[in-house]
Structure 1
Amino acid sequence: MYVSIVLFTADLRLHDHPPLRAALDGAREVVPLFVHDRGVTDAGFAAPNRLAFLADCLRDLDAGLRERGGRLVLRSGDVVTEVCRVAAEAEADEVHLAADVSAYAQARERRLRRALEADGRRLHVHDTVTCAVAPGTVTPAASDHFAVFTPYFRTWSAQGLRGVLRAPRSVRVPEGIASEGLPSRTALPGVSRGLAAGGETEGRVRLAAWLRTDVAAYADRHDDLAGDATSRLSPHLHFGTLSPVELVHRARGKGGPGTEAFVRQLAWRDFHRQVLAARPAAAGADYRTRHDRWRSLETAREDVEAWREGRTGYPVVDAAMRQLRHEGWMHNRGRLLTASFLTKTLYVDWRVGARYFLELLVDGDVADNQLNWQWVAGTGTDTRPHRVLNPVTQGKRYDPDGTYVRRWVEELRGVEGRAVHEPWKLRDPERAVAGAYPDPIIELADGLARFKRARGRD
């Protein structure tokens, strides 16, 4: 009988948690540990919205552990230093940790393993905690990863998933292990006013409601901007308050085209993880270079500011950017449109947009965010890298009566119907209704021509 540590990272739950289950098997006591990682803060990834959601998650995790006789131990600083310190205090023999894919996470794991082994302790790393199919599990014949989603999805779909683990009934924590106090979102400045609540309890309630009422229509409605018919589970997947393995099992158990489309999105998430695991540099460098000569920030400064503030003059783009600022979240179709507008219509480096999204997105994830931005910019895995999304056409297609635009662009709430997507065409009396809404910062034809020249396709 021995003492184990479970180091929680992006897996802040009790249900379907392989590291926790493994730590409890045979151990006399277990230390559930979370370390506020100084390295994450120093790298600029500790954004207010994610810190607020994290605070909710930690408080909920602690409450769940206390219901089972345990508690969460919180520390701050260098993860390796703090884990080794807690291990010494608890006289722990081993540490259990979920695998992760970023270069930073992999380096942290290597450092932790060396430090623990130097003290005579073991590190156990568990796959399929933050993904359904672990990176490297499925690979094509001539590569270490899939570079195209469709063949990956076929192989991914054929994989058998592990079973879902029940939450533990009891957790015994050693006495005398000091802990910092639990954080609270109310003490954090700069949090989006409409930010959703975090925590496993909230995530499981949302999942149950989604599977019960909305997932059946997902295949038909997932691009409906005004209908808001997506699951909104991405923050819970990012923080691991929900298990992707459990989501796939439960969705497949429902059956139907809606759940098939939803599972496909979960596979996209795993796809990006296996790309980043194999090519960590893709977090900041082109996966497939197009030799772009992006506009300098000095030249594009005013355009970038207009894009950030939601005043480009293209209503669906501005609506999505204002939703991002208010909620710390954006509809997936909005993400595609805003990213295409920045990288292809304005011809601004995708890293500028990816960095801004990470400042606000509660689900801001290195793999999904960076590789989705690259997909849209044409430097990633998209098989049609030069496609450009027209915001007017897209707005009319995915927000046909303008409800989404009017919801987020206050200046246009008096403009009725599809006309809201082209306010510059309104007659004078109608134009006056639009008030201070700006004219377009660029003609779409001019942006398209510049992009084609830059890519050598004119």
Structure 2
Amino acid sequence: MTAAAVALFTRDLRVRDNPVLTAAHREAATVVPLFVLDEAIVSGRSCPPNRAHFLAAALRELDDELRALGGRLVIRAGDVAEEVARVAETADAPVVHIAADVSAYSRLRERRLRDRLARDGRELRVHTASLTVVPPGDLVPAGNDHFAVFTPYLRRWTSDRHRPPLRAPRRLELPEIAAGSLPEPGELGAGERSPELSVGGETTGRKILRDWLSRSLDGYASGGDDLAADTTSRLSPYLHFGCLSPGEVVRRAGDSTEGAAAFVRQVAWRDFHHQVLAARPGAAWADYRARDIRWREDEQALAAWREGRTGIPIVDAGMRQLRAQGWMHNRARLITASFLAKSLRVDWRAGARHFLYWLVDADLANNQLNWQWVAGTGNDTRPNRVLNPLRQADRYDPDGDYVRRWVPELADIEGGTIHRPWRLDTDYPAPILEFPGM
């Protein structure tokens, strides 16, 4: 056992089922739980206001959890490689532990960390089973480095023996080292943030998970797409920041009911996208499958979509929810994305950028590859699929309650007629595009 080890937190802001923290605790007498406010992220477009605000709250809850174990969170700011090297030297820690990630930037960060620590004779140890249920690359088809289609991946994923969750350390001892200051919510990510944004960390996430499993899991298969009921788990931000372990979430959900199976399938989609991006990091911005699509440049239509004034109530409701909450119901994400990419024929990358700015759960793998799925350039086996927003509204918001909440200028219209306000005498804008059924 060594005298000290560094547990470098990235997108794994939790003490339970955290392979990085567990390994550092097992191998060293003292542990430095470290988070670096990466100047390449927090000072740039990679950390917009909603995610910055959530990050600050998650770090505070992580610090509370660590203090309950006898430790605390050590904060540094600047260049990650240099700051980690300084902390390792101060603590006389021969090993730094970190979770593997799939983005091009995270891989560059890992290489820079490894090289910088090696100059001091120190080691970087990377743990693959932290951010997903099954590590990217563990499940591969014959003759390929990743699964390109979800259904065969799901079969392998479901039959795989997922590792059991790890317990939090009973006690942590911190070596002599300055802790630094936790960031205040307003310090990170300048710009407008969503007024109804919900934030939290491991403590909050575990409470939401517990309450949702007991209240809504069983009805998820039949009600998960109901826009007005909004019975989804809302756990995606906590999974994005690693406040919750996806493996523990799957284990606690189980598979004994139809609702549980439907929910676990969504977590498997998250793993699927991570293994695709791990194998094809360029797919974050380049078409995964090249298609002969002639994208339109229409700034006026793009602005109407962003601002929720397309004249299609179900689309505008989704886009306004996004701006208000920094979150959007998954069915609304599909509807609004299809409207932009398939109906308006605007490049999916423009929509993905907008989602990345506002969504507090904006995970590069899930956001980009879901956009590509909708646009027909990704993993959808039916690339020509188009979602008619009127039919989607009739099916998933039949009484108009979702639209009534987010498009208040239509609040007095009764029933499902709210989805076709152009047939009525209203001041709501005319639709910028016509669909069958209008």
Q: Among all aligned residue pairs of Structure 1 and Structure 2, give the percentage whose two residues are the same amino acid.
A: 58
Which residue of structure 1 lines up, in the alignment, with residue 367 of structure 2? Answer: 369
Q: Name the TM-score, length of structure 2 as normaliser.
A: 0.97
Equivalent residue, structure 1, for 2:435: 444
Aligned residue number for residue 99 of structure 1: 100
**CA–CA distance in 1 between the matches of 2:21 and 2:50?**
27
Q: Residue 22 in 1 paired to residue 23 in 2?
A: yes
8 Å contact from structure 1 (residues 56, 185) kept in 2 = no
2:331 maps to 333
| Separation of aligned partners in 2, 1:180 and 1:43 | 21
**Quick one: which of 352, 355, 374 aligns to 1:354?**
352
- Opposite residue 281 of structure 1, the aligned amino acid is G
2:216 is the alignment partner of 1:214: yes
- Deviation per CA, 1:206-257, whole angstroms, max 9, x where unpaired? 00011111000000011000010110000000000000010111111x6211
Cα distance per residue 1:342-370 (max 9 Å; x no partner): 01111100000000001100000100000
Report the Cα distance in structure 1 between the residues aligned to 2:11 and 2:44, rounded to whole angstroms: 17
Question: Is the contact made by 1:7 and 1:96 (CA closer than 8 Å) also made in structure 2?
Answer: yes
Aligned-residue offset at 1:178? 4.4
Deviation, 1:181, is 3.5
TM-score (norm 1): 0.93
Give the partner amino acid of 1:15.
R
User: For 2:98, what is the secondary structure of its paired residue?
Assistant: strand
In structure 2, the partner of 1:455 is none
How far residue 115 of structure 1 moved from its aligned partner, in angstroms, is 1.2
CA RMSD of aligned residues (A): 1.4
Partner of 1:451: none
Task: Tell me, yes or no, if the aligned pair for 1:132 and 1:244 is still in contact at 8 Å.
Answer: yes
- Report the AA paired with residue 416 of structure 1: E
Q: Does 1:413 align with 2:411?
A: yes
- Give the aligned partner of residue 280 of structure 2: 279
Count of aligned pairs between the two proteins: 435
Code of the residue aligned with 2:435 in structure 1: it is L
| 1:133 maps onto 2:134 in alignment | yes
The letter for the 1-side match of 2:121 is G
What is the alpha-carbon distance in structure 1 between the residues aligned to residue 294 and residue 349 of structure 2?
Answer: 13
Q: Secondary structure at the match of 1:123?
A: strand
Q: What is the distance in 1 between the residues matched to 2:59 and 2:343?
A: 41
Question: 2:48 aligns to what?
Answer: 47
Looking at structure 2, the residues matched to 68 and 154 of structure 1 have their Cα atoms a distance apart, in angstroms, of 39
Contact 2:96 2:123 in 1 (8 A): yes
Contact 1:90–1:177 (8 Å) recurs in 2: no
Structure 1 residue 182, shift from structure 2 partner: 3.3
Partner amino acid for 1:443? Answer: E
Q: Which residue of 2 aligns with 1:116?
A: 117
SS, match of residue 272 in structure 1: helix
Cα separation, 2, equivalents of 1:381 and 1:43:
30
Between the aligned partners of 2:186 and 2:151, the Cα distance in structure 1 is: 40
Separation in structure 2 between the aligned mates of residue 396 and residue 323 of structure 1, nearest angstrom: 19
- Once the 2 structures are TM-superposed, how far is the Cα of residue 176 of structure 1 from its aligned partner? 2.9
Q: Secondary structure at the match of 1:357?
A: helix
Contact 1:75 1:82 in 2 (8 A): yes
Native 8 Å contact 1:86 1:177 kept in 2: no
1:175 aligned residue = 176
Shift of 1:184: 2.4
Q: Structure 1 stretches (4+) deviating beyond 6 angstroms?
A: none
Secondary structure of 2:216's partner? Answer: helix
1:3, CA displacement in angstroms? 0.7
Answer yes or no: is the 8 Å Cα contact 2:42–2:52 preserved in 1. no
Verify the 8 A CA contact 2:59 2:182 in the aligned structure 1.
no
Question: What is the rounded CA distance, in whole Å, between the counterparts of 2:27 and 2:35 in structure 1?
Answer: 22
Task: Write the letter of the residue equivalent to 2:164.
Answer: G
Distance in 1 separating the partners of 2:127 and 2:259: 31
Secondary structure of the corresponding residue to residue 444 of structure 1: coil
Residue ranges of structure 1 left out of the alignment (5+ in a row): 446-458
Partner of 2:207: 205
Q: Is the 8 A contact 1:345 1:444 kept in 2?
A: no
Shift of 1:103: 0.9
Partner of 2:77: 76
* Cα distance in 2, alignment partners of residues 29 and 183 from structure 1: 27
